[in-house]
Amino acid sequence: MARPFRFAVNMLTPTDGPEWRRKCRRAEELGYDVIQVPDHLGMMAPFPALMAAAEVTERPRLGTFVLNAAFWNPALLAREIATSDALTGGRLEIGIGAGYVKEEHDRAGMEFRTPGGRVAHLRHTVEEVDRLLRDDGHLPKTAHKPRPPLLIGGNGDKVLQLAAEHADIVAFTGARDSRDGLQVLTAEEVDGRIAAYRGVAGGRSDEQELNLLLQLVAVTDDREAAVKELLPRVPHLSVEQVLDLPLLAVGTVQAIAGQLREQRERYGFSYFTVLDPYLETFAPVMDELRKG
């Protein structure tokens, strides 16, 4: 049986308190299941922002999407998680990844490790935070037992192995790190990443929820026009291949809903995240999918 859909909005845009609270209330009104906050310099600090979201909402879960493990000491992170989960009545959902933006590490005066070094640090952070939060003696205590749901984001083999072992939710970005920055994954390449994940997850893959970040949402009758500005950034792909990219949701409301149903069937994605500029645009798609 297919896993029910869940939908999140990732709040990228810094703003003041009244506007932040208005956007969070609006996300709840529109039916989003999770309000997420990223962990990038130049954006809102995740835990204070989520606490402000909790003050003005009742139903949505509150998630980090995703913490940069390099920015966090495991013991201090466990304290942040436990405090936030306790004060929100168990609504917290923790997302974490290895971090990929060198410029942010430079600005923070932190070493930008090799890819292997970043993943090794992510593993250490995940395992130590998990150990601390599961310890009955840890203070403060979480409201959600044994700990809040854990989302691990990434596409590389080592991250997928870690996610298969420890995550409740595995998040795929639809892109990979390269020397030229993030490089989008075609539908066939996502097939390969899903196959790699299932190969290491074994029976756990039936228990874990799969998430996909949608980088663009455009409700339109002219799909080609909607992606025209993207084409110079992916010169190795045809227009048809661009329109088939899993991380794009472009078309009529009914067509996008159909695409996401197909992605649930093909890849197992049932949890979709959109960026906050598409907060309103994506709402009719959620309504369409919830009709059944």
Q: Are 244 and 276 in contact (CB under 8 A)?
A: no
Q: How far is CA 100 from CA 111, 153, 213, 252, in A?
A: 12, 11, 16, 33
- Spatial separation of the C-alpha atoms in residues 47 and 37, rounded to whole Å: 8
Would you state the pLDDT for residue 96?
Answer: 98
Is the separation of the CB atoms in 172 and 212 below 8 Å? yes
Q: pLDDT value at position 176?
A: 72
50 and 64 Cβ atoms separated by less than 8 Å: yes
Q: How far apart are CA 205 and CA 173, in angstroms?
A: 18
Beta carbons of 5 and 270 less than 8 angstroms apart: yes
Q: Which helix (H) or strand (E) holds 244?
A: none
- Does the pTM of the predicted model rise above 0.85? yes
What burial class does residue 182 get, using C-beta atoms within 10 Å of its C-beta: 0-12 exposed, 13-18 middle, 19+ buried?
A: middle
Residue 173, pLDDT score: 84
Say how far apart CA 148 and CA 78 lie, in whole Å: 11
Torsion region of 57: left, alpha or beta (phi above 0 gives left; psi -120 to 50 gives alpha): beta
3-state secondary structure of 199: helix
- Among 202, 70, 90, CA closest to 149: 90
- Distance in Å from the first CA to the final CA of the chain: 13
Q: Which helix (H) or strand (E) element contains residue 257? A: helix 253-266
Distance of alpha carbon 198 from its chain centroid, rounded?
Answer: 19
CB count within 10 Å of CB 51 equals 14
CA 34, CA 32: separation in Å to the nearest integer?
6
pLDDT value at residue 32: 98
Residue in the block written with tokens 């003041």: 16
d(CA 105, CA 113): 9
User: Distance between CA 20 and CA 37 in Å, rounded?
Assistant: 11
How far is 110 from 44, CA to CA, in rounded Å? 20
Treating both helix axes as pointing N-terminal to C-terminal, what angle do 115-134 and 74-87 enclose, rounded to 10 degrees? 50
Query: Which residue segments constitute the domains of the chain, with CATH numbers given?
Result: 6-289 (3.20.20.30)
Q: What is the pLDDT of residue 189?
A: 95
Which pLDDT value is given to residue 177?
63
The pLDDT value recorded for residue 93 is 98
Position 158, amino acid: K
Query: CA triplet 247, 253, 258: central angle to 5 degrees?
Result: 65
What's the distance, CA 269 to chain centroid? 12
Q: How many angstroms separate the CA atoms of 25 and 29, rounded?
A: 6
Q: Mean pLDDT in runs of 10 for the chain (292 residues)?
A: 94 98 98 98 98 98 98 98 98 97 96 96 98 98 97 96 98 74 85 97 94 97 95 91 96 98 98 98 98 79
Task: Tell me what pLDDT residue 1 has.
Answer: 75
